[in-house]
Structure 1
Amino acid sequence: MLGAASAALAQGGRGRDLQAEQFVQTGAQRVISVLADRGQSVAQKKATFHQAINELADVPKVTNFVLGKYARTITPVQRQQFAAAFRAYAESVYQNRIDDYGGEKLNVVGSVVQKPGDVVVNTTIAGGQLDRPVAVAWRVLGGGASWKVVDIQFKGVWLAITQQQDFVSTIDNAGGDIGVLISQLQKDALRPAARRP
């Protein structure tokens, strides 16, 4: 399970995986570059960003993970609705903060193999509008030339794990009604950047 493995990341691991590092270097830099590209229309940028995320991340795996215990009870129709709402929300968070990006460069500084096919790639992002380099870790699953990101650590927090906790809490508070979370994500995806926290 993603959560258990991510929680154990600080306990060690050995070696580096250069193929996983190259995947993150290329894929993550592309995502950053798409966000910073002022030469495309909004529609073109959204389409390019959507494709870049598909290539970088295991979107179905992350979507299932953030549902936590509710991934086992969600109906097929709800799953389809949630997947669309979560995807739109996640992409809007970055696209609506487009002015925050501009010329940043990602540099891989190493990786740790937790077990075969499970690697944490450590990077720094610097330049552009950043005052100082930011450390970002990428958890990737796969092997050889086939890898996908399943979680990102930023400021010491694993984002998918945090989202899972928030989403499960929201559903719990709604008496197990997943529709409440779906509606909330749909609304949040439409909110302008100025109103985001």
Structure 2
Amino acid sequence: MTALFSRRALLSGGAALATATLLPLPALAVTEAQARGMVDALVAEVNAVIASGKSEQAMYNDFATIFDRYADVPTIAMYSLGNAGRAATPAQRQQFVGVFRTYIARKYGSRFREFVGGQIAVENARTINNYVEVQTTAYLRGEDPFRVDFHVSDQSGRNAFFNIIIEGVNMLLSERTEMAALLDRHGGNVDALIASLR
């Protein structure tokens, strides 16, 4: 799943911020072994797609499916929407999660071509507050290896990642900043934001 994110794109997307407990999570139920097993499975699927030799479009579709299978998309979406999500109607929240799922899979899936010929290796897992951080290393052609951390919980009722930290750059914070900018562009209108992401 590291491959969902272009290091250059994320590192240029904003200043790195310290990782903190960003979301209200229930008491920890997922174990380090379970979280690592989930990320092992995710990474195995990503590595298989990278090595498949499929067309770029077919790879995008596969990566979107993988992202949806392993990510807690509703949690990522609502955190990204920020204060506007709390003021939104239930129908708006549901619509936003739907368009955000497509938007984020398309956005990060389109960057997978940079990872062809590369590989991701799971290194370690450790409990932090109410989630498990699974550390991986991405090995890309022509670049130094870099660290990618997956934050895993069972908040959604299943083991899923709700955040990824790539060399200190926080996916949740990056997406929240981007959604805030889009909302500003649309005068704070959530319906207009939803329409723009379709």
Q: TM-score, normalised by structure 1?
A: 0.72
In the TM superposition, 1:16-165 aligns within 5 A as: 17-39=32-54, 42=57, 44-116=58-130, 118-127=131-140, 129-142=141-154, 146-165=158-177
Structure 1 range deviating more: 75-84 or 129-138:
75-84
| Alpha-carbon separation, structure 1, partners of 2:110 and 2:56 | 14
Q: Which amino acid aligns with 1:153?
A: I
Structure possessing the higher relative contact order (Cα contacts under 8 Å, 6 or more residues apart): 2
How many residues align? The count is: 171
**Aligned partners of 2:50 and 2:117 also within 8 Å:** no
1:92: Cα distance to partner? 1.5
**Aligned partners of 1:104 and 1:130 also within 8 Å:** no
**Aligned partners of 1:33 and 1:103 also within 8 Å:** no
Among all aligned residue pairs of Structure 1 and Structure 2, give the percentage whose two residues are the same amino acid: 26
| Alpha-carbon separation, structure 2, partners of 1:32 and 1:161 | 26
Deviations 1:107-136 (A, max 9, x none): 2222221135x1111110114x34221210
Structure 1 range deviating more: 72-81 or 157-166:
72-81
User: After the TM superposition, which segments of 4 or more aligned residues of structure 1 sit over 3 Å from their partners?
Assistant: 39-42, 44-48, 172-175
| Alpha-carbon separation, structure 2, partners of 1:41 and 1:169 | 29
**Aligned partners of 1:32 and 1:101 also within 8 Å:** no
Structure 1 portions without partners, runs of 5+: 8-15, 187-197
Query: Secondary structure, in 3 states, of the residue corresponding to 1:112?
Result: strand
Q: TM-score, normalised by structure 2?
A: 0.72
Query: Secondary structure, in 3 states, of the residue corresponding to 2:161?
Result: strand
**Aligned partners of 1:17 and 1:111 also within 8 Å:** yes
**What corresponds to 1:11 in structure 2?**
none
Query: Secondary structure, in 3 states, of the residue corresponding to 2:159?
Result: strand
